């Protein structure tokens, strides 16, 4: 049987959405369209929550912000090339 190569097998960096930060801990800029889309969705959720929810309920606003931020950070942590760790050039 013929084996079809997926994008992940051809390009190991295809599975990552974010570059690691050069200095410090965390995620740098997006390196794929999925990373940019996730940033856009997060910004849209924060904007919608900031515009509409405080007028109705502060608790709802806080809940949306916590959930949206937690989901976005989990995606960033999982999809950053090399994972999240402290980076300091020369010490790695």
* Residue 14 pLDDT: 56
Phi-psi category of residue 86: left, alpha or beta, with phi > 0 → left and psi -120 to 50 → alpha: beta
User: Do 28 and 18 touch, CB atoms closer than 8 A?
Assistant: yes
Where do the structural domains in the chain lie, given as residue ranges? 31-82
pLDDT tens, 13-62? 558 888 888 888 888 889 999 999 999 999 999 998 888 877 678 888 88
DSSP string, the chain: ---PPPHHHH-GGGG--EEEPSSBSSEEEE-SHHHHHHHHHHHHHHHHHHHHSTTT-HHHHHHHHHHHHHHHHHHHHHTBTT-S--B-TTT-
* Residue 6 pLDDT: 43
* Residue 72 pLDDT: 94
Q: What pTM does this model have? A: 0.72
């Amino acid at each position: 049987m013929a084996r079809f190569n997926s994008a992940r097998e051809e390009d190991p960096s295809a599975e990552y959405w974010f570059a690691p930060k050069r200095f410090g801990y965390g995620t740098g800029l997006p390196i794929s369209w999925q990373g940019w889309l996730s940033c856009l969705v997060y910004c849209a959720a924060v904007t919608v929550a900031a515009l509409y929810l405080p007028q109705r309920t502060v608790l709802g606003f806080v809940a949306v912000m916590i959930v949206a931020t937690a989901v976005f950070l989990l995606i960033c942590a999982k999809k950053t090339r090399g994972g999240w760790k402290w980076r300091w050039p020369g010490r790695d």
